[in-house]
Amino acid sequence: MDPLERLRALKLPFTEMIGIEIVSADKDRVVAEVTVRPELCTQPQVMHGGAIMAFGDTLGACGTILNLPEGASTTTLESKTNFIAGAPLGARLVGETTPVHRGRRTQVWTTRISTAEGRLVAIVTQTQMVLEPR
């Protein structure tokens, strides 16, 4: 199964609830999009920081999943978000994650989240633990 199909087949309920759509994927880069809907917003009508973080965390996890050894799984150890600009209601956000480090026990990914027009919204850097099969 190709990487894009593999990620789409995962059926992650939280990811589906947020509305994340994986656009492209391989071991070196995952790109996804999400639309800022009212239920993802705070006041004023901009995307809640936690929703932005969840978008970035999901993409870093997806990148890790594509680089795991057979039977292994992953969990987030640490996540840091720099918020640069607000994401207004109705905006289409694009997230692109790339690896910083892919080790045997941990992986580090950086996700850039921008509007479809290219305005940077946030940068998420996270460390994923590689969990060996039981």
Residues of the chain with confidence (pLDDT) below 50:
none
CA atoms within 13 A on the CB side of 38: 0
CB 38 within 8 A of CB 14: no
Do 99 and 109 contact (CB within 8 A), yes or no?
Answer: yes
What is the torsional sign of CA 62, 53, 51, 112? Answer: negative
Nearest CA to 81 out of 45, 113, 128 is that of: 113
Contacts of 119 (CB under 8 A, 6+ apart): 85
User: Does the global pTM surpass 0.85?
Assistant: yes
Cα separation of the two ends of the chain = 24
Q: What pLDDT, on a 0 to 100 scale, did the predictor assign at position 40?
A: 97
Q: pLDDT at position 22, please?
A: 96
The amino acid sitting at 17 is M
CATH number of 3-131: 3.10.129.10
State pLDDT tens for residues 15-41: 999 999 999 999 999 999 999 999 999
CA atoms within 13 A on the CB side of 104: 0
Q: How many whole angstroms separate alpha carbon 103 and alpha carbon 64?
A: 10
> What is the structure's pLDDT at 1?
84
